[in-house]
Structure 1
């Protein structure tokens, strides 16, 4: 039985390239494609997949939120993040949030296939770069970048605030009260030693977390 792969990326050319790569393998097949996080959630409610390959930067629902929702709806389905953002920018936060591997889109095709197989076998896939990041976190925790000190939910709120979302919008998207979002915002600002939403946006741009 071929492993059923779900591709989630808003760029058709990326999905087409991944489909061509994956379908060269006898043990893997693309069973579904989604151009947005919302489309991905609709698909996993209807069909079963062995793995989802997920982008971060997408319209309507970014990969950070989509990862969390996929885990809620289909906790047994592992997720591999394949992003245009470098591993040192997002990987540690998203590994903590539950993804089983993280690769940048310039990874070698052989490594992408290897990661899919490892994750479908029930293990995490750690690239050499990500393994180094995790080792540094364990041996030198003080060297963490500020956004890496945030909890999963704090990171979600940080990402949305930095992208220009209001507390009301964030509350609606995360099914929280505005008061709870404000509490998270206060925690994020304190942990990152920042004062305003504009500071969060500047930090995110400077660290290439948003473009």
Structure 2
């Protein structure tokens, strides 16, 4: 019998996820609880085959520490985490914490089931939003390849977002950076490319 543990502080969302899983995996046994638990007391007796956990953005570091503890306590059970605001940097942190799947909390049912099936097959899964970001990163990498010594890959990425009209706070949220860091990189970009504003930056980027 398949056993899945669901950790989320929101009771209604836990129930919704249980319903979705039971619909797709007949005979499923679930255990649901809040995110902050005593692993030895609350999960060891259940011995889950899969753990699905909500990562609280407010307590991100604590969430990743909890994910690492889960992996240590249940090395054979894949771990899927999901959160409200996914981004590329946090997806990388999840992989470093040996998380098997990384999902956007608002993803569709089909993606959740696809993720579960993939992690059970021994593969990692990153949500479609992050997959698209990686594709854009690969495409954007051409800029740094064509302009060696001018902009780094990170600077090229931020330069593209700025030229597309994204605000500093929005870029920081997308990339998992501090707004002050984005502002510093933006100033470096302007200096390297010899531009004074976004309009000039947009024109300069078209040259690459």
What is the CA distance between 1:94 and its match in structure 2? 0.9
RMSD: 3.3
- Residue by residue over 1:1-41, the C-alpha shift from the partner in whole angstroms, topping out at 9 and shown as x without a partner, is 4x211101011011011011111123562421121232455
- Output the TM-score relative to the length of structure 1: 0.59
Question: Aligned pair in 2 of structure 1 residues 137, 99: CA closer, same or farther (>3 Å)?
Answer: farther
Once residues 33 and 87 of structure 2 are traced to their aligned partners in structure 1, the CA distance between those partners, rounded to angstroms, is: 23
Question: Aligned pair in 2 of structure 1 residues 29, 102: CA closer, same or farther (>3 Å)?
Answer: same
**Partner SS state of residue 3, structure 2:** strand
The answer for unaligned runs of 5 or more in structure 1 is 146-201
1:84 and 2:112 correspond: no
**Structure 2 counterparts to residues 57-72 of structure 1, below 5 A:** 57=56, 62-72=62-72
1:43 and 2:18 correspond: no
- Look up the match of 2:5: 6
**Count of matched residue pairs:** 150
What is the CA distance between 1:137 and its match in structure 2? 7.5
Contact residue 54 and residue 63 of structure 1 kept, 8 A: no
Once residues 93 and 138 of structure 1 are traced to their aligned partners in structure 2, the CA distance between those partners, rounded to angstroms, is: 23
Contact residue 137 and residue 143 of structure 1 kept, 8 A: no
- Look up the match of 1:18: 17
The answer for unaligned runs of 5 or more in structure 2 is 142-151, 158-176, 183-208
Contact residue 41 and residue 69 of structure 1 kept, 8 A: no
**Structure 2 counterparts to residues 95-134 of structure 1, below 5 A:** 95-134=95-134
Question: Aligned pair in 2 of structure 1 residues 88, 205: CA closer, same or farther (>3 Å)?
Answer: farther
Give the greater-gyration-radius structure (CA).
2
Deviation beyond 4 Å, 4+ runs, structure 1: 137-141, 204-207
- Residue by residue over 1:145-178, the C-alpha shift from the partner in whole angstroms, topping out at 9 and shown as x without a partner, is 9xxxxxxxxxxxxxxxxxxxxxxxxxxxxxxxxx
Contact residue 78 and residue 120 of structure 1 kept, 8 A: yes
